[in-house]
Chains A and B, each alone.
Chain A
């Protein structure tokens, strides 16, 4: 028996095939399974259809087709997100932008690059480097994650301490609105007149539409980069060094910390050769004009020693710097070497609360008998606790989940945030009411109602309870032909 829903989807698939061609629409169940999850692999939903637009116009046509059919759609870039933001909708279309991957322009004189959403983050930097520029936001997944995904998630990275996040580096987007219209927000010049819809769009996790072209800032490559790796007996000591550095008015390009368990994992995985016996390592990177960097580097080194660093290594060249970073950037995956399963948490606390919060995480972990490895952006208080467990052992997954949730509660208790860079997505929507009041969430959703009154663009993400938007403005499509013919009912 054919249900109304599958009839609708079949009709939609036919329409999408006329737009994109057969090969760029997937409806085969086995093939669809490839797209059942993003980087947060324990959530799995098989989408009804997958579509691969190559142009903004095609993307708009796909969205229009979805709107006409009343079918939800979810945008996906490289699928590396860690909050389930690109988790498909079972009755919806997954719109994959990874084939929209042209770098349209590198304009050093404008300090801008214009790219399609499927372009890989690192490719922007690679394309700009010959001109002496780079793209500053550098999420750990920068070798595979896409700019479109970065825009959706407002991605961060180790160097956002000094340079800011994706939202500070995107000056313009072309989007497909949830009505299926192509609209430009911002551009090459700053401060476009009107509401800063660009600012609202970046980080909206695919709920306000799909970026089809992105204009980003390019930053001049720094004259000098100095990187130091300091080993401390405890995380408290490393935390004190962090406070001393920030307190002295130094703004490092990056300041990253790992605790003993995270170091152990990184050693096992990538043999980064961090100092033995360290309770914590701190990686501090300074960049900028050479004289500035030299002068501040001396202070940073002293602050580390004064606060108990027992070994300090200074990268002599890019290769050594890369080795320092290798341990840090591979830390998430490396934990797989010491634990069959793990949860990557992402929370933020005021930086000064770091020692206290780490102690309490330790207590919570000990109470529940769960191990937690800590990797974090120490400069801005962005914690990435890795909660280790073995799914094969009864009850461990539940306990790990409890610990992970308790860590988020700690972040809220200390005035922080439930996510610093991974996004809310599917994973953390349920925690939003702990951080925001019902009125706060209602107010945020006014923006959603303005952009997407039908609630078709990535529904079920970010907000635990959708807001009713009232009358749908704009285009009125009339009665669906299938409904008119009595073939289908509107649900």
Chain B
């Protein structure tokens, strides 16, 4: 099979994205090569989806059109790690795990404990993936200080820079974060780093119900524990695990662990290893995954709504996430019938709305997805369409994957 221009290879069945076959694959090694490919693709009017490690290509909606996959597998490596300035410049195709290994010898970390560590930096930015420690360190939007991207017309643009404190120009890094690859191809990211803590401990307890979990969560938030993470996770039998991660200097961690144990009450356990559910999504391969958000005080209510939906629809709905920030995830087996998934989603969406947040479907099997409104209500959608129209007027990048069919 011939390819329309140099640098492409024919795609295989394995390259299909959420059931949509691709025609070609390109794997540029530099920003310049990537820009040349996008320019050539623009001339041929090819639709592009960017792929990192491919760990979340079943997230969001399938592309409406797919000609070319730009694989970032060769756009890898740490370009710079200025340890004294606590920043790193890293190419988008670098896996998070590899970046972590590069930074650790200097006693530093990119404080993104994302649930999928084999994900690339670019993929993590694209879907705004975060983990339990977002409570202390924030998310991609708080850590990404500079970005290099290729626009749909092949123009290379930078925003931000290599210093943490910087208000020159618009913060395109935030706009790109969570944009699901619809605004352009990110080739390089600059992140602020944090020191690795000298000590840490997990305090956890299993409680019978939402009321007790809510009491513990509120107590920890109101105390002087300064947790790095405050997580809850439902167990299949209706119980709820609550777990706090405390990080810092050994002297400090000891005292805060004691405070936390006191606040937890009962038989709280202390460990230096995380529970096995920690920083994992509550769904398996091919499952249905939801992201639920809430105002902080409404988290117990949202949790309760999740458990109620489990009862009402007779499904093994699992709910897990950051009670300290108001971001929960819920999962169903991929074999759940589409009607039931839709009914559960309706319940969760109503509950999240009451809680001041949203319920979105992150992933679902292709048999289920067409029956779901993945995103629900989106404020400012008309402005988002205009942003897309400006950045990518030909809908070159990931057409149809994002909110409102963007």
Residues of A within 8 A of B (CB): 107, 109-112, 132, 153-154, 156, 160, 164-165, 167-168, 177, 183-185, 187-200, 202-204, 220, 222-223, 243, 246-247, 249-251, 288-296, 348-352, 377, 380-382, 415-424, 428, 432, 435-437, 439-444, 446-451, 462, 469, 473-474
Residues of B within 8 A of A (CB): 82-87, 107, 128, 130, 138-139, 141-142, 149, 151, 155-159, 161-175, 177-179, 183, 194-198, 218, 221-222, 224-226, 248-252, 254-256, 291, 293-298, 325-327, 352, 355-358, 360, 375-376, 378-384, 386-391, 402-404
In the bound complex, residues from chain B placing their C-beta under 8 Å from that of A294 are 251
Partner of B128, one of A153, A191, A421: A191
The answer to whether B252 and A167 have CB atoms under 8 Å apart is no
In the bound complex, residues from chain A placing their C-beta under 8 Å from that of B157 are 437, 439-440, 442-444
The answer to whether A196 and B356 have CB atoms under 8 Å apart is no
In the bound complex, residues from chain A placing their C-beta under 8 Å from that of B138 are 164, 168
The answer to whether A156 and B384 have CB atoms under 8 Å apart is no
In the bound complex, residues from chain A placing their C-beta under 8 Å from that of B375 are 193-194
Known: A421-B167, A442-B155, A442-B157. A109 touches B218 (CB 8 A): yes
The answer to whether A292 and B175 have CB atoms under 8 Å apart is no
Known: A168-B142, A196-B174. A191 touches B291 (CB 8 A): yes
Partner of B84, one of A193, A351, A417, A442: A351
The answer to whether A194 and B256 have CB atoms under 8 Å apart is no
Known: A199-B141, A352-B84, A439-B156. A291 touches B178 (CB 8 A): no
Partner of A435, one of B168, B179, B183: B168
The answer to whether B358 and A189 have CB atoms under 8 Å apart is yes
The answer to whether B194 and A251 have CB atoms under 8 Å apart is yes
The answer to whether B166 and A249 have CB atoms under 8 Å apart is no
The answer to whether B326 and A189 have CB atoms under 8 Å apart is yes
Partner of B390, one of A167, A189, A446: A446
In the bound complex, residues from chain A placing their C-beta under 8 Å from that of B128 are 191, 196
**In the complex, what distance in Å separates the CA atom of A363 from the CA atom of B381?**
53
The answer to whether A377 and B165 have CB atoms under 8 Å apart is yes
Q: Identify the closest chain A residue to B161 (Cβ).
A: A417
The answer to whether B162 and A415 have CB atoms under 8 Å apart is yes
Candidate in B84, B169, B252, B255 with the most chain A CB atoms within 10 angstroms: B169
The answer to whether A197 and B380 have CB atoms under 8 Å apart is yes
The answer to whether A200 and B170 have CB atoms under 8 Å apart is yes
**In the complex, what distance in Å separates the CA atom of A428 from the CA atom of B358?**
39
**In the complex, what distance in Å separates the CA atom of A112 from the CA atom of B296?**
9
Given contacts A289-B226, A348-B163, A416-B161, 4 further A-B contacts (CB under 8 A): A291-B251, A432-B168, A450-B383, A474-B382
**In the complex, what distance in Å separates the CA atom of A299 from the CA atom of B326?**
35
CB distance from A436 to the nearest CB of B (A): 6
The answer to whether B172 and A447 have CB atoms under 8 Å apart is yes
The answer to whether A436 and B169 have CB atoms under 8 Å apart is yes
Known: A292-B248, A421-B167. A191 touches B222 (CB 8 A): no
**In the complex, what distance in Å separates the CA atom of A421 from the CA atom of B87?**
19
In the bound complex, residues from chain A placing their C-beta under 8 Å from that of B159 are 436, 440, 443-444
Q: Identify the closest chain A residue to B325 (Cβ).
A: A190
In the bound complex, residues from chain A placing their C-beta under 8 Å from that of B87 are 350
In the bound complex, residues from chain A placing their C-beta under 8 Å from that of B177 are 196, 199
CB distance from A301 to the nearest CB of B (A): 15
The answer to whether A153 and B256 have CB atoms under 8 Å apart is no
**In the complex, what distance in Å separates the CA atom of A418 from the CA atom of B142?**
20
CB distance from B388 to the nearest CB of A (A): 8
Q: Identify the closest chain B residue to A249 (Cβ).
A: B195
Q: Identify the closest chain B residue to A437 (Cβ).
A: B158
Partner of A417, one of B166, B226, B248, B254: B166
In the bound complex, residues from chain B placing their C-beta under 8 Å from that of A291 are 251-252, 254-256
Partner of A167, one of B163, B171, B175, B298: B171
In the bound complex, residues from chain B placing their C-beta under 8 Å from that of A160 are 165
**In the complex, what distance in Å separates the CA atom of A47 from the CA atom of B382?**
32
CB distance from B390 to the nearest CB of A (A): 4
Candidate in B179, B298, B387 with the most chain A CB atoms within 10 angstroms: B387
In the bound complex, residues from chain B placing their C-beta under 8 Å from that of A292 are 226, 248-249, 251-252, 256
Known: A109-B296, A439-B156, A447-B172. A424 touches B381 (CB 8 A): no
In the bound complex, residues from chain A placing their C-beta under 8 Å from that of B294 are 189
In the bound complex, residues from chain A placing their C-beta under 8 Å from that of B255 are 289-291
Q: Identify the closest chain B residue to A353 (Cβ).
A: B85
**In the complex, what distance in Å separates the CA atom of A251 from the CA atom of B358?**
34
**In the complex, what distance in Å separates the CA atom of A153 from the CA atom of B165?**
13
**In the complex, what distance in Å separates the CA atom of A377 from the CA atom of B163?**
13
Interface pairs (29), CB distance under 8 Å: A132-B222, A191-B291, A191-B358, A193-B376, A193-B378, A194-B375, A195-B179, A195-B388, A196-B128, A196-B178, A198-B174, A199-B171, A199-B177, A246-B84, A289-B256, A292-B252, A348-B166, A415-B161, A416-B163, A417-B165, A421-B165, A435-B161, A436-B159, A439-B155, A439-B157, A440-B158, A441-B169, A443-B151, A451-B383
**In the complex, what distance in Å separates the CA atom of A184 from the CA atom of B380?**
7
In the bound complex, residues from chain B placing their C-beta under 8 Å from that of A223 are 224
Q: Identify the closest chain B residue to A447 (Cβ).
A: B170
**In the complex, what distance in Å separates the CA atom of A428 from the CA atom of B168?**
9
The answer to whether B389 and A450 have CB atoms under 8 Å apart is yes
CB distance from B49 to the nearest CB of A (A): 18
The answer to whether A450 and B387 have CB atoms under 8 Å apart is yes
Partner of A193, one of B166, B183, B356, B360: B360
The answer to whether B384 and A195 have CB atoms under 8 Å apart is yes
The answer to whether B386 and A451 have CB atoms under 8 Å apart is yes
The answer to whether B326 and A199 have CB atoms under 8 Å apart is no
**In the complex, what distance in Å separates the CA atom of A424 from the CA atom of B169?**
7
The answer to whether B355 and A203 have CB atoms under 8 Å apart is no
The answer to whether A246 and B86 have CB atoms under 8 Å apart is yes
**In the complex, what distance in Å separates the CA atom of A257 from the CA atom of B252?**
28
Partner of A191, one of B86, B149, B178: B178
The answer to whether B295 and A189 have CB atoms under 8 Å apart is yes
The answer to whether A193 and B358 have CB atoms under 8 Å apart is yes
The answer to whether A446 and B391 have CB atoms under 8 Å apart is yes
CB distance from A176 to the nearest CB of B (A): 12
Known: A196-B177, A249-B196, A439-B155. A424 touches B85 (CB 8 A): no
In the bound complex, residues from chain A placing their C-beta under 8 Å from that of B356 are 110, 187-189
**In the complex, what distance in Å separates the CA atom of A462 from the CA atom of B170?**
9
The answer to whether B295 and A112 have CB atoms under 8 Å apart is yes
The answer to whether A196 and B175 have CB atoms under 8 Å apart is yes
The answer to whether A450 and B168 have CB atoms under 8 Å apart is no
